Structures are given as C-alpha cells and as structure tokens.
Amino acid sequence: MIQCETTMPTHFKGCESAIRALNAYITLSRAADTLGAELANQLESGGLTISQFGTLEALHHLGPLCQHTIAEKLLKSGGNITLVIDNLEKHGWVRRERGKDDRRMVRVHLTPAGRRRIAKILPPHVEAIVKTMARLTPAEQDELRRLCRKLGRGDDIAPTTKTRKQKGDSHDSNSTQR
C-alpha cells in the first residue's frame, strides 16, 4: 500500500502518483460508462442490446463464427453469449449449424433477416458514434485510441497475470465494438 500525505477530492489520502492514477481511472471509467449508456440507449430504441448488436455486427463483418469466438470478441462469458444467441435465434436473425466432422463445433450464421436487421441498425449506430466522438478533434480521437490500446494490451503486465482476453488482440478494426 502506498502511503503519502496528499488528499484527493474523493477523500483518498495518498501521494501524487496514486491520486493522478486514481483520477485518470475514475475519469476514464465515467467517460466509458457515459458513452456506453448513450450508445446502448440508441441501440435499445432499435430493439437490440449491446451484446446482440455486437454479435450481429461480428457476423456481418467476419462471417460465420463459433460461439466461443464471438464470446471472446465481445468479452462475454460462454453462458452469456449462449443466451444472447438464443434470443437472436428466436428473432430469426441467426442460426446455429453443427460441424459435420466435429459435432461439438457450433457455428453461428446470420440469416437473411439478420442481414437486413444489421444493415438497418448499423448506419444509425455508426452515425451516433461519429456524433459522440466529434466532441474530440481527429487528433484527440487518434491519441485516445492509442492510449486505450496501450492500457488495454497491458504491455507492462507479466504474461502470467494477463487475462485470457488480453493475450490476443481480439479487436477487429472494422468493428464498432470495443
């Protein structure tokens, strides 16, 4: 534990480096929560959750994927992604297909209705993201992306302490998620 004298507005007593790190973390978390809530509301008004949208979008950009891959891309648990895909399947937007050689392998495919759904919801979602990010200059957006990637990769974390999600770069540059 770090012991220092300075007091932070959140009543934390610590040294300057601890206060700076906490302020940066709190500010980043609040900004991410605010932007996430704004964009979630936009998607929900279109009848989709963020996880449902992320799944449809991944399938739209990358083609059929196994559930495990979708879960990794969206940083969701296997159980959660199963429920998300169950709900998308009920709407007729995706279908599951078992592997012919390995029946354990289940690939998820967009249906024609799913293609129409993502084609309808993606443009206004991208527009909402562009509008939200316009609060920053293009240079600030580039810098934010660089800094977030640096934080997200955890380059200074020992390999044994990295989470499974941090070990591979699961971000697709065409994706609007994460």
At residue 145, what are phi and psi to the nearest 5 degrees? -60, -45
Strand partners, 110: 94
Single-letter amino acid, residue 3: Q
Going by pLDDT thresholds of 50, 70 and 90, the confidence category of residue 75 is confident
pLDDT for the residue 164: 45
Two structure tokens written together for 171:
């971000």
DSSP annotation string for 106-174: EEEEE-HHHHHHHHHHHHHHHHHHHHHHTTS-HHHHHHHHHHHHHHHHTTTS-GGGS-HHHHS----TT
Query: How does pLDDT run across 19-54, given as a tens digit for each residue?
Result: 888 888 888 999 999 999 989 988 888 889 999 999
Does domain 48-149 match CATH 3.40.50.300? no
CA distance 69 to 170: 9
CA distance 14 to 97: 55
- Whether the CB-CB separation of 166 and 153 falls below 8 Å is answered with yes
pLDDT for the residue 24: 87
Query: How does pLDDT run across 109-142, given as a tens digit for each residue?
Result: 999 999 999 999 999 999 999 999 999 999 999 9
- Whether the CB-CB separation of 80 and 86 falls below 8 Å is answered with no
pTM of the model: 0.73
CB neighbour class for 177 (10 Å; exposed up to 12, middle 13-18, buried from 19): middle
What residue spans define the domains of the chain? 1-45, 48-149
pLDDT for the residue 45: 85
Task: Inform me whether the pLDDT recorded for 169 exceeds 50.
Answer: no
pLDDT for the residue 65: 95
CB neighbour class for 144 (10 Å; exposed up to 12, middle 13-18, buried from 19): middle
CA distance 65 to 108: 5
